[in-house]
């Protein structure tokens, strides 16, 4: 009976992003430059159909050197954990050969909203020293209908207490524009398919 059990799992970036890797800048000096890339990747990601409108990057906190990029790959892979933050953190860990991104390094995770309940934990355990988000608050769920889960109200303070500095509201309006475009499009798509509202981040 157990012969059918899976024994490994692969989470790969989508082909369109892999094709773009060599054209990405080596470094993005400011949080605004970093977030602009995140927004661009997030917007393209949902339009390509592989996952939701979410992207994340890991950069060196001092130089802005790009360490990894991630987008939501849930639809592409059929793996519910394939959120942008998980991808960016795991690919940074793979590149650097360590599960602890804080081991002798000061790295920053840049993402286009406050992490969901899953990615909140993934970020806590990753070893990043800084988190930069475009925003927080109910707008993401209102515009996209994704459920972010029971993230604690003092989520930023909890990060800070564990040595992870949080910066919010970097290109916030631009984040909302991506979510608004996605929400408008899926309203049509999902109603047309009769599948009802999304219940967790695809």
Question: Judged by CB under 5 A, which of 38, 58, 67, 83 binds Zn ion?
Answer: 83
Strand partners of residue 165: 130
**Minimum distance, C-beta of residue 62 to Zn ion, in the bound complex (Å):** 27
Q: Is 119 in the site for Zn ion (CB under 5 A)?
A: yes
Q: Of 10-18, 23-31, 76-84, 185-193, which part binds Zn ion (CB under 5 A)?
A: 76-84
The set of residues, in sequence order, having a beta carbon less than 8 Å from that of 89 and lying 6+ positions away, is: 56, 58, 68, 70, 101, 109, 122, 123, 126, 128
Q: Is 67 in the site for Zn ion (CB under 5 A)?
A: no
Q: Is 114 in the site for Zn ion (CB under 5 A)?
A: no
What is the arrangement of strands in the sheet containing 66-71, beginning at the earlier edge strand? 66-71, 55-60, 107-111, 130-133, 165-167
**Minimum distance, C-beta of residue 119 to Zn ion, in the bound complex (Å):** 3
Q: Is 172 in the site for Zn ion (CB under 5 A)?
A: no
Q: Is 57 in the site for Zn ion (CB under 5 A)?
A: no
Q: Of 17-25, 83-91, 167-175, 183-191, which part binds Zn ion (CB under 5 A)?
A: 83-91
Distance separating alpha carbons of residues 120 and 201, to the nearest angstrom: 14
End-to-end Cα, the chain, rounded Å: 31
Q: Is 89 in the site for Zn ion (CB under 5 A)?
A: no
**Minimum distance, C-beta of residue 56 to Zn ion, in the bound complex (Å):** 9
Give the alpha-carbon dihedral of 24, 58, 67, 43, to 10 degrees: -20
Q: Is 55 in the site for Zn ion (CB under 5 A)?
A: no
Distance separating alpha carbons of residues 191 and 197, to the nearest angstrom: 8
Phi, psi of 102 (to 5 degrees): -95, 5
**Minimum distance, C-beta of residue 85 to Zn ion, in the bound complex (Å):** 6
Q: Is 111 in the site for Zn ion (CB under 5 A)?
A: no
| Coarse DSSP helix, strand, coil percentages of the chain, rounded to the nearest 5 percent | 45, 15, 45
Q: Is 38 in the site for Zn ion (CB under 5 A)?
A: no
| Residues forming the site for Zn ion (CB under 5 A) | 83, 116, 118-119
């Amino acid at each position: 009976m157990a012969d059918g059990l899976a024994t490994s799992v692969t989470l790969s970036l989508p082909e369109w992003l892999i094709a773009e890797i060599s054209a990405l800048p080596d470094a993005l000096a400011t949080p605004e430059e970093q977030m602009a890339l995140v927004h661009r990747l997030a917007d393209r990601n949902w339009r390509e159909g592989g996952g939701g409108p979410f992207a994340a990057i890991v950069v060196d906190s001092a130089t802005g050197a790009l360490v990894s990029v991630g987008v939501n790959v849930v639809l592409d892979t059929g793996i519910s954990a394939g959120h942008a933050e998980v991808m960016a953190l795991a690919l940074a860990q793979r590149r650097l050969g360590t599960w602890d991104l804080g081991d002798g390094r000061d790295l920053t995770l840049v993402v286009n909203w406050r992490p969901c309940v899953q990615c909140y934990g993934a970020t806590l355990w990753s070893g990043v020293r800084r988190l930069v988000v475009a925003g927080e608050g109910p707008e993401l769920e209102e515009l996209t209908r994704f459920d972010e889960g029971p993230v604690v109200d003092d989520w930023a303070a909890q990060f800070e207490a564990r040595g992870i500095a949080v910066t919010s509201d970097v290109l916030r309006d631009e984040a909302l524009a991506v979510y608004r475009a996605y929400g408008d499009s899926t309203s049509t798509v999902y109603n047309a398919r009769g599948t009802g509202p999304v219940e967790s981040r695809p």
